[in-house]
Structure 1
Amino acid sequence: MLKVNALSERMPVAAVVALGVTQIIGYGTLYYSFSILAPDMAAHFSWSSEWIFGALSVALLIGGLSAPWLGALFDRIGAGRVMTIGSAAAAVALVACAMAPGKTTFVVALIAIEVAANLVQYGAAFALLVQLRPQVAQRSITYLTLIAGFASTIFWPITAALHAYLSWQHVYLVFAALNLLVCLPLHAWLSYGAARRKTASSALPTRTEGILTPDLRFVGFTLMVAGFSLQSLVSSAVLVHMVPLLSGLGLGTSAALVGTLFGPSQVLSRLINMTFGRNLQPLRLALIAAALLPAGVVVLVLTAPSVPGAMLFAVIFGMGNGLLSIVTGTLPLTLFGSDGYGKLQGKMMSARLIVSAIAPFVLALSMQRLGFIWSLSITAALGAVAVLAFRAIDGLVRNGRRFS
């Protein structure tokens, strides 16, 4: 029995490292590269930048509508198998986007990219880690997000460097190859390992309990989704426009340099959490993340066009986003337990993507009509509401414990 418990409490290091590699490639090729390539996409199809980001918003929205079904699929056939299929789908979608002869086929291919992204990014990876070993899933998720935090730092310059020599279409073909030749084999290996572990580990504990009582779960889930959706709205709006936003505020050539601080700041927040926050509950971490995102935007508003101020913004915002990535995996597990975790992730992903899908388009339009400062101020105010949502969940947990 001691051996069983020791095995169930051992973190699956190889799986975490492999997923770290695939998450870097998944986020880098399917998300972070878009803002670098968008201007040439717009020129190629004779669209304004607002309409290109509008197409991205439509793709994110439809991808969000597919997420609940995908979440149920994680539980039914296993997250590893879903991620393997997703890598192939991502490669095909990137090729289709690169080969699109017109605007309509381009948008359809972009939609396919966003649906495929839901199959291979954090929601699926977190579900796989919970399915592997639920007892140590929170620790595994923390380490995974630490590795994957380098995605923007790696892929913004890689995309820019490739684009200096290749068209956006050829860059997408290179990225398709990465998903097919690197991510697919790793996901297939993880899927095979998960299936073997499930057979060999039938004696291991297979579930963890949540801290919310059944009568409080609906309210708790609603508040959690509201908080994460508002944070995702702020994060997606600012991240997609990071470099052009900083340039528009007068930072000029310093914009790209400031943007490179974002990735390391994500990693820094996760390192700090791993070192000093091991006993910090996910709900407390969610509150900190919710406060950091709007705080970073406020710093940018108050200091623009100061380069040191923009650097401070990138650090604060990056740290908040880094912690957000952790708590979207650990907070649902803490509040609701491991049973049906994949389906829960799917519902949460859907709500977050639907609410935040319009963020890049709306921010682009807002910056055009209202200016950068007013647009960022409104974004910061929306982000601050997320703090209230997590405070309310904290109240629910306290009341539940009081009357239990």
Structure 2
Amino acid sequence: MPKSTPSNAAAIWALGVTQIIGYGTLYYSFSILAPGIAEEFGIAVEWVYGSISLALLAGGLISPYAGGLADKHGAALVLSIGSVAAAISLVVCGLAVNASAFLAGLILVELASAFVLYSTAFALLAQATGPQAQRSITYLTLIAGFASTIFWPLTTWMLQGLDWHQVYFVFAGMHALVCLPLHLWLTRFARMAAQRPAEKSPVPAMETGGASHSTFVLVVLGFSLAGFVSAATLFHIVPMLAMLGLGGSGVLVATLFGPAQVASRLVNMAFGKDLPAPTLAVISAVLMPAALTVLALTAPAIGGAVAFAIIFGLGSGLFSIVSGTLPLALFGKAGFGKRLGWISLGRLGVSAVAPFALSVALGAIGPKPSVWLLTAAGLSCVAVFGEILRRSRSSATLIVSSQTV
């Protein structure tokens, strides 16, 4: 990895492994496991998706607290605690003997997610890699983009020899035996990084004042809308493609999502490294409704579904970068962890209803009208990030003008 010290590179790779396992076990695997869970408990699959919606909301509510802990005590320690919590919560899910016990496990899973996924990992990179933080975040999202590509087919394959209870136990083992040791090592790395001389970094365009506050509200709103579209689509991507006439090809098409995420990050690293974060946010926001429009217009054509998965993956991949780099670019490192926590609260609070809402919509109005509703939400997201871009350009112009007076 160019421009990274060996220690920085090792930390990024360690976080990449833990984020692949984190997102794969705590997020992407759910859509593959949900039908079997619903069948065993004799409940509608909509109930299962309603459960994940409630659990996502619980995770969002604790996110500012987790971010504050990362700022105060170090993100690496919070990640380590999160690994233990994730392992325990997955065991609780695996031991569930009824729907209520499984709901309790899911809530624990999402509470653990607030401590162990991107927000805390980004905070660690901001604390430990100094002025290289934005580039480090890009590298991390590049590696972690393989989570869906690995865990959708891996979970499907595991279900051929294991039941969903046993799959959850295997997932718990991954957190205890792989993620926890890596996060404990990162606490040592973070202490070493903190002892290095501080390097001067650029002053963000928006740091204080009412304009900064209102812009932060827009940032939360933009990520909330993006989270709604992303959560609804990704939790239902395989069954939704089947309902649109793709049949068994849905899993194969869905596996293109991960490589597209990775490709978008590679393209950004190669050609967009100097692209301002607000501009990248607008580009990523445009790609998601564009992908959904392609799907709605072409289904059940396999070519259209492939194009949808690739375009949506490109947008989602860029959003993963922007979710860390945009707040850092606009507001700086001070209070970065807690700020990401508030963004997660807004994003998860809105996206919490997404899996359940789309599940109901698919049953009530059918797949194509549901896709068009998601497209409308995506276009609203574009408008919000467009306003953030306008404000950031205006602020930059004012700063330049004041420096030349």
Answer whether TM exceeds 0.5 for this pair. Answer: yes
**What do the CA deviations read for 1:110-148 (whole angstroms, capped 9, x no partner)?**
000011111111101000000002300010000110000
Within-5 A mapping of 1:95-174: 95-174=91-170
**What do the CA deviations read for 1:356-403 (whole angstroms, capped 9, x no partner)?**
000000000001001111111011111111111111112212332344
Flag as ranges the 4+ runs of structure 1 deviating above 4 A: 7-11
Shift of 1:257: 1.2
Q: Is the 8 A contact 2:278 2:392 kept in 1?
A: no
**What do the CA deviations read for 1:126-180 (whole angstroms, capped 9, x no partner)?**
0000000230001000011000000000011110111111000000000000000
2:345 corresponds to:
350
1:229 corresponds to:
224
2:11 corresponds to:
15
Flag structure 1 segments of 5+ consecutive residues without an equivalent.
Answer: 1-6
2:85 corresponds to:
89
2:354 corresponds to:
359
Q: Is the 8 A contact 1:133 1:206 kept in 2?
A: no
Shift of 1:10: 8.2
2:275 corresponds to:
280
Comparing 207-216 with 140-149, which one deviates more in the overlay? 207-216
Q: What code does the residue aligned with 1:277 have? A: G
Q: Distance in 2 between matches of 1:194 and 1:288?
A: 33
Q: Distance in 2 between matches of 1:40 and 1:205?
A: 52
1:334 corresponds to:
329
1:4 corresponds to:
none
1:291 corresponds to:
286
Flag structure 2 segments of 5+ consecutive residues without an equivalent.
Answer: 400-405
1:391 corresponds to:
386
Within-5 A mapping of 1:204-353: 204-205=198-199, 209-215=203-209, 216-353=211-348
Q: Is the 8 A contact 1:229 1:355 kept in 2?
A: yes
Within-5 A mapping of 1:39-58: 39-58=35-54
Q: Distance in 1 between matches of 2:359 and 2:265?
A: 30
Q: Is the 8 A contact 1:98 1:173 kept in 2?
A: yes
Q: What code does the residue aligned with 1:323 have? A: L
Q: Distance in 2 between matches of 1:289 and 1:11?
A: 31
**What's the secondary structure of 1:300's corresponding residue?**
helix
Residue 29 (1) aligns with residue 25 (2):
yes
Shift of 1:209: 2.8
Q: Distance in 1 between matches of 2:68 and 2:22?
A: 21
Change (3 A) 1:8 1:316: closer
Q: Distance in 2 between matches of 1:207 and 1:341?
A: 15
Q: Is the 8 A contact 2:241 2:250 kept in 1?
A: yes
Q: Is the 8 A contact 2:260 2:314 kept in 1?
A: yes
Q: 1:77 pairs with 69, 73, 76, which one?
A: 73
> Normalised by the size of structure 2, how large is the TM-score?
0.95
**What's the secondary structure of 2:334's corresponding residue?**
coil
Comparing 374-383 with 96-105, which one deviates more in the overlay? 96-105
Q: Is the 8 A contact 1:94 1:113 kept in 2?
A: yes
Comparing 134-143 with 211-220, which one deviates more in the overlay? 211-220
**What's the secondary structure of 1:12's corresponding residue?**
helix
Q: Is the 8 A contact 2:129 2:193 kept in 1?
A: no
2:403 corresponds to:
none
Aligned length: 396
Q: Distance in 2 between matches of 1:8 and 1:94?
A: 35
**What's the secondary structure of 1:284's corresponding residue?**
helix
Change (3 A) 1:340 1:206: farther
Q: Distance in 2 between matches of 1:20 and 1:9?
A: 16
Shift of 1:87: 0.5
Shift of 1:44: 1.5
Q: 1:371 pairs with 352, 366, 369, which one?
A: 366
